[in-house]
Structure 1
Amino acid sequence: MTDIVVLGAGPAGAGVALGLKRLGYPVRVVSEWRRFAAVEGVSQRVLDGLRQAGLHRALACAAAPSPRRVLWNGDGQSINQECLLDRPRFDAAIREDLREAGIEVLEARVLKVEGSDAGHLIQLDSREPLRADFLVEARGRSAPLAGGRLRGPETLSLLNQWQEAPGHPGSAVESLPDGWAWMARLADGRCYWQITQDAGGLPPKDQLPDYCARRRAESALVRELFGDAALQPASLHARSSTAILFHEASGPSWLRVGDAAMAVDPLSGNGIFQSLSSALQAPAVINTMLQRPDRAELARQFHQRRVEHLFLRFARTGRDFYALEQRWPEQPFWCDRRTWPDADPMHAPADFSQVRVARAPVIHGELIEEVEVVVTADQPLGIWHLQGIELAPIITALKRGELNQALAALPEPQRRTVQGWLLSQGYRP
C-alpha cells in the first residue's frame, strides 16, 4: 500500500488521516504543538463535523453553550450562544483520537520537504528524515506559501491572554472604528481578547501589549465581561488573518487541506468548520488518485472546485457582515472589506431557466466518479441526490414533458419532496 504522511495534526490533518486509515492506508502524522494558547467559539455544525470525522475525544472538549454578546453597527441587542473550545486541550485530544485509531503521531518540526518522481523526502528537526509516496499538507497558515494564490486585504489579529478568578463563561464581539474584537472568558478564569485590524500602521512590537490594554479600556463590553485585570498589559501573540485561496490545492502526489488550501478572515466563519469541510472529502480524492489513475485529474478537479466554492461562500459571508457596519463608511478597514472578494450575492435567486443537467465529479462510496447532476443558479457544482432521490432523471423527464410519469414512479413522501424542491427553484407547472 502507498505510504502516506500527513503534515499537521489539527482538525484537517486528523480528519484526513482517520479517513485514510479507514480505507486501509498506512498513515503517519507529523506535527509540532501549537506555540500559543488560544480559545475558539464554535457552533453546532462544527461539533457535527468533528463527530463525522471520528474525532470523538476532541468533540468532548467543547464546553456547553454559553452566551455571546454582539455589538455591531451600534446595535447591542443581539444575543446568541456558542461553545467555547480550549485549543491546547482540544489539540491534545485530537492526538489521542489519532493514537486510538492506530495512527502514529511524530512530534517534530518539519524543516524541509523535497519532492521528486520517487516521492517526498521530509527533513525533520529531531529525527531521521521520512519518506512518503503521498503527502498531505495540513499545517494551516504556517504551510509554505508556494504557488499562485488569491489574497484578501492584509489583516492581522492580536491575541491577548490573562488570568482572572473563576466565574461564568461567556463571549462577545464588537466592531471598532478601525477593526473588530472578539473576547471570551472560560469558567476557570482564563480570559482572551483578540483585536483584528489592518496589518499596516500598528505600533512597534514592544508597544503592542500597552496598545491592546488601551484599546480594552475603551470598551464597555470588556468592562462587562472581565475584571480590572483586563485593563493591564497581557501576554500577546500576533497572527495573520488574511484570507488566502491557493489556485493549486493538489499535485500528482500531494494534496492541500484545511487552512493550507484556503484560509478565510475569522469574521467569515469558524476555521475548524472550514478545515473539516475540505478534509472530509480528501480521503476519497486521494484514494481515487492512487487506485484509479485514469480518474486522477477528475479527483483533483473535484477537490479544487470545492475548495474554491467553499472559500468564496465564506468570503462573501464575511463581506456581507462587514457591510452591516455603517458607522465608519470612510475608514479604510471597512471600505476594503465590504466589497471583497466580489459583488456577487451570497445566494443566487432561484431561476428555473438556469436549471440543467450536466456531468460533474461527485463522491461515490470511496471514490470520485463523474455522474449526471443538476446545476442550479445557487448550486453551480451540481446536486446529485435530494434526500436520497437522484435528481438528474427527474429534470431530464421534465424537459421531455414526462414529469408526471417520473413523479408517479416515486413513493408519495419522495414525490412531495421533489415537487417542493422544483417549486423552490422557480418551476411553475
Structure 2
Amino acid sequence: MQNGYDVIVIGGGPAGSTASGLLAKWGRRVLVLEKEKFPRYHIGESLVPGCVPVLQELGAIDLIESAGATKKFGLSLLWGDEPTPWSVDFDEICPHPYAYEVKRAEFDNLLLTHSRRLGATVIEEASVRELLFEGERCVGVRYSVGRSDDVVEVTAPYVIDASGQTKLLARHLDVVEWHEDLKNLATWTYFQGGTRYEGRQAGNILVENRPPGWLWMIPFSDGTCSVGFVAPTTEYAATGLTPPEVLRQRIAESTEVQRLLGDAVEVAAPRTTKDWSYTASRMTAPGVLTTGDAAAFIDPLFSTGVMLAMKGASTAARTVNALLDAPERDEELRTAYEKSYRDFLEVVISFVRFFYDPSKKVVEYFERARALVDPAEALAAREDFIVLISGLYDMAPVMQSAVDAPVPASA
C-alpha cells in the first residue's frame, strides 16, 4: 500500500461517500476503507430536503432520480391535538420541492460507486483496527482486509472518521455521551400492498403517535413499505412481549397505519435496534475529524440521520480541504467545524425533545420551531417548522463551513 494519500476516510456510508466524493472532485487523493461489502442493508430510508444541496454538489441528483427513488413532497403526521392526520409540504418554503424515500442498500451503493467515479480509491471489507497517533496527532490507520490476519498501515495528513456506530475516534477518546431520555428501541418490518395517500402526498412518510412511542410508515416505488415502532426500551420490557409482537400489536391498535396497510402482507422478518441517541463531546483531534454517526446520532423522529451525515460530511470535506492548503489553521478550523456541528445538533435535539410531548396543539410545535431557528420571525411559524424538519435552516449560522466551497479540479 502506497502512503500517497491526502485523506483517509473511514467508512463508505452516506457520510464517508460524501466526504470522499467531494474531496476527490476537488482533486485530492482519497482512500476510503469500508468494512462491509456493498450493497449492504441499512435502515434510515426517508430523506429530507437538507440532503438535496449535498447531492447536487456531488453531482448525484440524476443518479438518484434515474434509480427510481420515491419522491417525498412532505410529511404526514397523526400527532398533537389534531384528531386526524395533518401534513406539510416542503415546497411551502424549501427551494427544492421534494426529497426521497430510498432503499438504503441501493442508495448507499450508488453514492459509494459515485465516489469511485469521482476518483476516490475505495477498499471494501477493510476493517480499521485502530487509529495511528504520533503524540496527540492522528497520522493514519491500521486495517485488515476480509478474513486476512495481515495488518496494513497507511498514513495521510488527515483522517475523516465516518465509521458510523463504530465511533472509532469517540471510543478512542472515551467521549461518547448517551442521551438517556432518548434511549429508545425500534422494531420494523416490510409490507407489500395496502393503500397510499393520493396525489403529491403518496410518497409522504407517515408518523403516527402511539404513546409512549410512535409508528412510521415509509412507501417505496415497488409497492412495498417500511413500518416500524419506536418507544423507550422500558416500554418494550413492560409488555412481556417480544419486539416483533409489540410492533404488530401497535399496528393493530393504530388508526392511520392500520387503515393504510389494509390487507397488506408482511414480507420480511422484523428487525430491531436500540440505544439510538448520543453525541461525542469531542469531534476532532489533531489530524482527524469525525462526521455522521461517528460524531452523533439523534432520535429518528424527523428522519434526520442521512441529512446530518451528508451535511456534516460536506462541512468536514471543506474543512479538511482547507487544512491541506493551510495546516497552520488546524486548531482554528477544527474548532469552527466542531462548533457548527454542535450548534446544529443542539437545535435538532431540542426540537425532538419538545415534539415528543404529543399533547400539545399543532401550532405550539410551529412556534417552538420559530423560537429555535427564526427568533427574528422573518417567516411564518408554520414555515419555520418546515425549514427545521427539512434540515434546511442554514439561514441561521449553523452547520456552515469556515471556508468556501473549492473549485472542482476539472474546472
TM-score bracket for this pair, using the shorter chain length: 0.7 to 0.9
| Contact kept? 2:44, 2:305, Cα under 8 Å | no
Indicate which of 94, 106, 129 corresponds to 1:112: 129
Q: How does 1:182-221 map to 2 (within 5 A)?
A: 182-203=216-237, 207-221=242-256
Amino acid at match of 1:40: E
Q: How does 1:10-409 map to 2 (within 5 A)?
A: 10-31=13-34, 32=36, 33=38, 36-38=41-43, 40-56=45-61, 59-60=64-65, 61=67, 62-65=69-72, 68-75=75-82, 76-80=84-88, 83-110=100-127, 112-117=129-134, 119-126=139-146, 128=150, 129-133=152-156, 134-144=158-168, 145-146=170-171, 147-152=174-179, 153-165=181-193, 168=196, 170=203, 171-203=205-237, 207-229=242-264, 235-240=269-274, 242-326=276-360, 345-347=371-373, 349-350=375-376, 362-364=402-404, 366=406
Whole-Å separation in 2 of the counterparts to 1:45 and 1:137: 21
| Contact kept? 2:208, 2:214, Cα under 8 Å | yes
Amino acid at match of 2:318: A
| Contact kept? 1:63, 1:84, Cα under 8 Å | yes
Corresponding residue for residue 404 of structure 1: none
Give 1:222 shift: 2.1
Change (3 A) 1:287 1:184: closer
Structure 1 SS opposite 2:234: coil
| Contact kept? 2:24, 2:115, Cα under 8 Å | no
Structure 2 SS opposite 1:42: coil
Larger radius of gyration: 1
Aligned residue pairs total 345
Q: Which has the higher contact order (CA 8 A, sep 6+)?
A: 2
Corresponding residue for residue 381 of structure 2: none
Change (3 A) 1:20 1:95: same
Unmatched 5+ stretches in structure 1: 328-337, 339-343, 352-359, 368-429
Give 1:248 shift: 1.4
| Contact kept? 2:319, 2:401, Cα under 8 Å | no
Give 1:312 shift: 0.6
Unmatched 5+ stretches in structure 2: 90-98, 197-201, 378-399
Corresponding residue for residue 426 of structure 1: none
Change (3 A) 1:158 1:234: farther
Give 1:365 shift: 5.4
Give 1:138 shift: 0.6
| Contact kept? 1:99, 1:105, Cα under 8 Å | yes
Structure 2 SS opposite 1:25: coil
Structure 2 SS opposite 1:162: strand
Give 1:111 shift: 5.0
Residues 272-325 of structure 1: CA deviation (Å, up to 9, x unaligned): 221122111212321333332321100110111011111111112213322453
Whole-Å separation in 2 of the counterparts to 1:143 and 1:260: 4
Amino acid at match of 2:290: R
Residues 213-233 of structure 1: CA deviation (Å, up to 9, x unaligned): 111111121222213356x69
Residues 77-104 of structure 1: CA deviation (Å, up to 9, x unaligned): 4124563112111112112211211222
Give 1:39 shift: 5.7
Corresponding residue for residue 199 of structure 2: none
Change (3 A) 1:268 1:173: closer
Change (3 A) 1:38 1:350: closer
Change (3 A) 1:293 1:109: closer
| Contact kept? 1:28, 1:104, Cα under 8 Å | yes
Give 1:150 shift: 3.7
Residues 379-400 of structure 1: CA deviation (Å, up to 9, x unaligned): xxxxxxxxxxxxxxxxxxxxxx
Change (3 A) 1:269 1:90: closer
Change (3 A) 1:68 1:3: closer
Whole-Å separation in 1 of the counterparts to 2:17 and 2:292: 11
Residues 8-41 of structure 1: CA deviation (Å, up to 9, x unaligned): 1122111111222133221121222475354622
Whole-Å separation in 1 of the counterparts to 2:207 and 2:287: 42
Whole-Å separation in 1 of the counterparts to 2:222 and 2:240: 29
| Contact kept? 2:177, 2:280, Cα under 8 Å | yes
Which protein is richer in strand relative to its size? 1
Change (3 A) 1:67 1:263: closer
TM-score by length of 1: 0.70
Residues 360-392 of structure 1: CA deviation (Å, up to 9, x unaligned): 98214549xxxxxxxxxxxxxxxxxxxxxxxxx
| Contact kept? 1:158, 1:236, Cα under 8 Å | no
RMSD of aligned alpha carbons: 3.4
Amino acid at match of 1:161: T
Residues 332-373 of structure 1: CA deviation (Å, up to 9, x unaligned): xxxxxx9xxxxx95147449xxxxxxxx98214549xxxxxx
Change (3 A) 1:164 1:22: closer
